[in-house]
Chain A
Amino acid sequence: MPPLGFFPISILKPLKGLDFELEANLESYFNLVYPEYELLFALTSDSEPAYPVAKKLIEKYPHIKAKILVNPDQGSGNPKVSNLLKVYETATYDWVLISDSNVFMDRDYIKILTRSVDANTGVASAFIGGFESQGFFGNMEATFLNGFYSRWGLTALQVGIPCVVGKTMLFQRSVANRFGGIQSFTYHIAEDFMMGVAMGLLGKKVVIANNPVKQRVGIVTRKQFWDRHLRWGRLRKRQAPPAFFTEILFQPLTVSAFGSLFLMLQFGFHYLNSFLAFVCFFAVSDFAVMKTVNRSTSLKYLYYWLVRELAHYPLWIHIALGNTVNWRGQKYVIEIGGLVRTVND
């Protein structure tokens, strides 16, 4: 099917707290090269630190159609969806792009994203690339995004199961409203996953843009790093348990360990040599993926790759042992299927 071409877009930006380089990230949306779009910032309170940042930019770029809408937190369910409800209803255009606050948009990104959209597209999304990481856990975060998630995202894409990534979701409200709109994701922790599922059930397809969106990682604390990957992991576990419980078998170090054991038993190869050969192969493959996602990835990331691979085992066990997550200052229990409830419900 041919691409749809140009269509006006409402960009919905849920804001919470003060992300790394927030002003620069938000400013990138005021400089997009696209014929017609509006920017709608969603906040739960005008005392949020992101409020004056968004206000300042709106005043700086009066020619860009933009406004802030405050929707007080309802205190339950998915806080991102809850924050977005008001801007979703207020949006001028049928096509809406939900884009997270820590995303930096290249000037031509909307053009790239819309190029992948045709008449049968339910939702267009993009992989995340971790950029400008700082410190040990910042670099680990970038390695996670550019290595682990890109690796599995590409694998899923190759086997025909494209995954929607919540940091960028472009879709039509008129289509989403046929299954209840984003309101129906209020009690789902993974609104992106459910968006892909619901669009598929409607007979629409998920498309992934050619280029990843940029997430400026900056400095990440140990707790932020662990909590985020614990949340994403527990979410994977509850949404797709068989995939989660088998993923440990396909980790590079696991495959290396069992692969070399097989070579030793079957062909008498030296175990350690085979193991190192396997690890080198996976390291180079993942490095190539990381380099493709972010061209500035240097050789030092091979070290972070190894640490991340080793850290995956305790993280996987931690994920497997519970179903609660901390997100935006609130503790949640994830039910089977990804339904979420606050712990004090």
Chain B
Amino acid sequence: MFLADFHIHSKFSDGQMAIPEIVDFYGSRGFGAIAITDHLCELNTFIGTAARYLESTLTPAIFPFYIEMMKSEKQRAWDQYKMILITGVELSKNNILNSRSAHILGLGVTDWISADDDVADIARAIRAQGALAIAAHPVSTRKIEKQTYHLWDRREELTPMIDAWEVASGPFLFDEVADSKLPLIANSDLHRPSQIKAWKTVLDCERHEGAILEAIRKQKISFKMYEDDITNYGNNHHRRSTLLYRISPIITGNLGAA
């Protein structure tokens, strides 16, 4: 049995840690699998353009570096910690209206996917790569922040295309998702080290990317609240100014989470 976290942000979008730092951070805590899922925002909207200017999203120009860095860190994560690192993205459709905003995690995505398409097409494109489409924080996150309700509002239509729905994001459990009989997953949506104190997914399968994705698909998973006091960790892990850290989550739709 091992702990896993499938929703983590790095400096490639609005996270505080570089990918190698994330690998060391989770690896040293004995996690068996993680997925780094940086924001991939729309290219053709005002909010997406702003995210691009604030360097809070993956772009076609930077995406190849992301994939290459993940490849090299994947090997190191295994060699050093016997931890599986999964390449992911968080396709982020942000609108001024919560009902039109949606974030979809693509676990195992290695090719560029446009976030400008409809959510159903995005989910299909994710699965066409053999990856998992996960509905990220689909209901109220219980925090004062930008919400993303679009997927939940269309859940009946989207159920065949979404592999799992986040039943917890950070330290909060979502009862309405838990009661929905939809396939579930729990993640931290980690942007900074202190957010490690969150619900995690527990797996009991081979430490292999294919086996892990299959376990999520078949729902052979459970959830656990992870407690770890690291209040003082990461004070030196700032790429951008504090001000920019305060602004960029607004753009990427993670005000409270970031």
- Asked if A197 lies at the interface with its beta carbon under 8 angstroms from chain B, I say yes
Q: From residue 8 to 59 of chain B, which have CB atoms closer than 8 A to chain A? A: 10-12, 17-21, 52-53, 59
Closest to B69 in A: A179
Confirm or deny: B233 has a beta carbon within 8 angstroms of a beta carbon on chain A. no
Q: Which of A194, A200, A242, A337 contacts B11 (CB 8 A)?
A: A200
Q: Does A188 contact B (CB under 8 A)?
A: yes
Q: Are B65 and A179 in contact (CB under 8 A)?
A: yes
Are A200 and B68 interface neighbours, CB within 8 A? no
Residue among A179, A180, A200, A337 making CB contact with B61, cutoff 8 Å: A337
Given contacts A178-B69, A188-B61, A201-B65, 4 further A-B contacts (CB under 8 A): A201-B18, A201-B69, A203-B18, A203-B19
Closest to B61 in A: A337
B contact residues around A188 at 8 Å (CB): 61
Q: Check B61–A335 contact: CB distance below 8 A.
A: yes
Cα–Cα, bound, A179→B10 (Å)? 15
Residue contact A336 to B68, C-beta cutoff 8 Å? no
Question: Binary interface profile of A, 302-345, with partner B (CB < 8 Å = 1, else 0)?
Answer: 00000000000000000000000000000000011111000000
Q: How far apart are A194's CB and chain B's nearest CB, in angstroms?
A: 8
Closest residue of chain B to A201 (Cβ to Cβ) is B11
Find residues 157-187 in chain A having any chain B CB closer than 8 Å to their own CB: 177-180, 184
A201-B12, A337-B59 known; A180+B52 contact, CB < 8 A = no
Cβ of A197 and Cβ of B62 under 8 Å apart? yes
Contact of B68 (CB < 8 Å), options: A178, A335, A337: A178
Chain B's nearest CB lies how many Å from the CB of A143? 30
Q: What are some 17 contacts across the A-B interface (CB < 8 A)?
A: A177-B72, A178-B68, A178-B72, A179-B72, A180-B68, A184-B68, A188-B61, A194-B65, A200-B11, A201-B10, A201-B11, A202-B20, A203-B11, A203-B21, A242-B53, A336-B52, A337-B62
Residues of chain A within 8 A (CB-CB) of B12 are 201
Interface residues of B in 62-118 (CB under 8 A from A): 62, 64-65, 68-69, 72-73
Is A336 a contact partner of B69 (Cβ separation < 8 A)? no
Chain B residues closer than 8 Å to A178, beta-carbon distance = 68-69, 72-73
**CB of A85 closer than 8 Å to a CB of B:** no
Tell whether, in the assembled complex, residue A198 and residue B65 are in contact, meaning their CB atoms are under 8 Å apart. yes
Contact check, B19 vs A180: say whether CB atoms are below 8 A apart.
no
Most buried by B among A179, A188, A194: A179
A194 to B49, CA, bound (A): 19
Q: Does B256 contact A (CB under 8 A)?
A: no
CB distance from B128 to the nearest CB of A (A): 24
Which one of B12, B60, B68, B73 has the greatest number of beta carbons of chain A within 10 Å? B68
Interface contact A180-B53, CB-CB below 8 Å: no
Q: Which residues on the B side are within 8 Å of A197 (C-beta)? A: 62, 65
Q: Tally A-B pairs: CB < 8 A.
A: 56
Q: How far is the CB of B12 from chain A (nearest CB, A)?
A: 6
Chain B nearest Cβ from A181, distance in angstroms: 8
Asked if B239 is at the interface (CB within 8 A of a chain A CB), the reply is yes
Measured between C-beta atoms, what is the minimum distance from A289 to chain B in Å?
25
User: Shortest CB–CB separation between residue B242 and chain A, in angstroms?
Assistant: 12
Residues on A with C-beta less than 8 A from B10 are 201
Check A184/B65 contact, CB under 8 A, given A201-B19, A203-B18, A336-B59.
Answer: yes
The smallest C-beta distance from A250 to any residue of chain B, in angstroms, reads 18
B8 to A: closest C-beta gap in Å: 15
From residue B64, how far is it (CB to closest CB) to chain A in Å?
6
Q: B19 — which chain A residues lie within 8 A by C-beta?
A: 201-203
Contacting residue for A202 out of B53, B60, B61, B69, CB 8 A: B69
Please report the C-alpha to C-alpha distance between residue A180 and residue B72 in the assembled complex, in whole angstroms: 9
Tell me, rounded to whole Å, the shortest Cβ–Cβ distance linking A281 to chain B: 28
Expressed in whole angstroms, the minimum distance between the Cβ of A339 and any Cβ of chain B is 5
User: How far, in angstroms, from A178 to B66 measured CA to CA in the complex?
Assistant: 10
* Chain A stretch 73-132: residues in CB contact (< 8 A) with chain B: none
Give the distance to chain B from A159, nearest Cβ to Cβ, in Å.
8
Chain A residues, CB < 8 A from B62:
197, 201, 337
Contacts of A179 in B (CB 8 A): 65, 68-69, 72
Name the residue of chain B whose CB is nearest to the CB of A159.
B241
**Chain A residues, CB < 8 A from B64:** 180, 184
Q: Does A252 contact B (CB under 8 A)?
A: no
User: How far is B239's CA from A43's CA once the two chains are assembled, in angstroms?
Assistant: 37
Does the CB pair B18–A202 fall under 8 Å? Answer: yes
Q: How far is the CA of A242 from the CA of B59 in the complex (A)?
A: 17
A200: nearest residue on chain B (CB-CB)?
B239
Task: Find the A residue at minimum CB distance from B75.
Answer: A178
**Are A180 and B18 in contact, CB atoms less than 8 angstroms apart?**
no
Residues on the B chain within 8 Å of A198, using CB: 65
* Bound-complex Cα distance A335 to B21 (A): 31
- Residue among A198, A203, A241, A242 with most chain B CB within 10 A: A203
Assembled-state Cα–Cα distance A200/B17 (Å): 11
The residue in chain A whose Cβ has the minimal distance to the Cβ of B68 is: A180
Q: How far is the CB of A186 from chain B (nearest CB, A)?
A: 10
Q: Give the distance to chain B from A235, nearest Cβ to Cβ, in Å.
A: 13
Chain A residue at smallest Cβ distance from B67? A180
